[in-house]
């Protein structure tokens, strides 16, 4: 997994875009992609993705109203609309291949 940007400074009310590129050596059918907040390991976004379907099959739960996830294999982009003070912190893109 490759993330970008490495670090971003955002003002309250801004739109934040986080990128995650999935680099897999072998073919895959289904993976779980999660954006996790480092402090407290709170999941900001969780969805399942397929390599051939360009849109996520389910919304970015549990905060679907403020988040937009775009999937253009092998890259996922998470946009947070109207950042709030409690969104501050470091985020990790976590990918799990499901079998």
Helix (H, G, I), strand (E, B) or coil at 86: helix
pLDDT at 70 over 70: yes
* In the block, residue with structure tokens 């986080």: 18
Set out the domains of the chain in order of their start, with CATH numbers.
2-98 (2.60.40.10)
* In the block, residue with structure tokens 């940007």: 5
Position 44 scores a pLDDT of 82
Contacts of 64 (CB under 8 A, 6+ apart): none
Position 21 scores a pLDDT of 92
Chain-centroid distance, C-alpha 23 = 15
The per-residue pLDDT for range 14-24, each reduced to its tens digit, is 888 889 998 87
pLDDT at 8 over 80: no
Q: Is the distance from CB of 32 to CB of 98 less than 8 angstroms?
A: yes
pLDDT at 48 over 80: yes
The structure's pTM equals 0.77
For 65-74, what is the mean pLDDT?
A: 82
Position 78 scores a pLDDT of 86
Q: Which of 57, 16, 73 is nearest to 8 (CA)?
A: 16
């Amino acid at each position: 997994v490759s993330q970008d940007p490495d670090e971003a400074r955002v003002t309250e009310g801004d739109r934040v875009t986080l990128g995650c590129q999935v680099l897999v050596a072998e073919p895959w059918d289904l993976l779980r992609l999660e954006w996790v907040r480092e402090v407290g390991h709170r999941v900001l976004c969780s969805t399942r993705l397929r390599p051939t379907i360009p849109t996520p099959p389910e919304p970015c739960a549990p905060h679907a109203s403020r988040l937009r996830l775009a999937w253009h294999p092998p890259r996922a982009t998470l946009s947070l609309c109207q950042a709030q003070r409690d969104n501050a912190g470091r985020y990790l893109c976590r990918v799990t291949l499901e079998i």
